[in-house]
A and B are shown apart, each in its own frame.
Chain A
Amino acid sequence: MTQAERLYYRDDPDEMLLRPLDGLTLIYHRPSGITHIVDSPVPEILAALSHEPLPARLLLESLSADYDLEGEGEALDNLAAHLEELCALGLARAR
């Protein structure tokens, strides 16, 4: 399966406790007990994710409705990289 076909989603939002801190965001992930200190664009990407599995392409469309993004091809690659990282951290899921 290529990365473009991967569908991304997140579990129950209650699993995460988000708190803004001086421009950064603290995320406490209850199941792992790990605290993540994240910077933009991670909170924005997490907010775009829902329980409905979506490809990076549609998530990018959703983000571009709210934000000005960089060039499209590059933005998709960068978004996919962030999504993969969030999956590795357990903050997002993919299938």
Chain B
Amino acid sequence: MDERKEQDQGAGRDGDCEAQGVPGAGPSAGNARRRLLLGGGLAAASAVVSIRPALANTAASVLNCQIPVPDPAKGMGQMIAPDGKLVPKGTKGAFPASSKPFTGEEVKAALRGGRSLPGTSYEQNRAYLNYIRRLQNGTSGFTCYASLQMPR
């Protein structure tokens, strides 16, 4: 952002001492390499503003977001126990991972008891929903699940 400011203000807008005070500073200083400010006193968080679907009131986004069962990064090769916990492959009574993620809309309907998650049996649906209820921040699908909880 700072770099852009310098470029914008090279034409002589006041407020940027650096751009005005240094001869040759600005877009035509002859340096092909761009400067990248990783910090420079700015808090890291200032570089990002996130628009959460529920806050933006975009219902479509919430319903189209995805919840993998389980998170491929954390549950690779594992199965889902009836209580929703991840267990090693081959555990008796556990269900295999879902071949595709569920959408927010599908999960919402299933949580309300309206209809089971697509392609699941009664017990499998319950196990998957228990897994989803246990989702924690940092796990793929958590934000989608959290968005479903927010009132609109």
Q: How far is the CB of B42 from chain A (nearest CB, A)?
A: 9
A79 at the interface (CB under 8 A from B): yes
Contact A67 B44, CB 8 Å, known A36-B50, A37-B51? no
Q: How far is the CB of B10 from chain A (nearest CB, A)?
A: 15
- CB-CB contacts below 8 Å: A52-95 with B: 63, 66-70, 74-75, 77-79, 81-82, 84-85, 87-90, 93
* C-alpha gap A40/B53 in the complex (Å): 23
- CB-CB contacts below 8 Å: A26-50 with B: 30-42, 44
**Which secondary structure dominates where chain A touches chain B?**
mixed
**What 0/1 pattern do residues 42 to 80 of B give for CB contact below 8 A with A?**
001111111111001010011011101000010000000
Interface size on B, residues (CB 8 A): 40
Chain A: CB-nearest residue to B44: A81
Which of B16-24, B113-121, B135-143 interfaces with chain A?
A: B135-143
A-B pair number, CB within 8 angstroms: 114
* Cross-chain contact of A34 among B34, B53, B73, B137 (Cβ < 8 A): B53
**Which secondary structure dominates where chain B touches chain A?**
mixed
Interface size on A, residues (CB 8 A): 36
> Which residues from A are CB-within-8-Å of B64?
33
* C-alpha gap A87/B137 in the complex (Å): 11
Contact in complex: B65, A33 (CB < 8 Å): yes
A5 at the interface (CB under 8 A from B): no
* C-alpha gap A41/B39 in the complex (Å): 9
B104 at the interface (CB under 8 A from A): yes
> Which residues from A are CB-within-8-Å of B92?
none
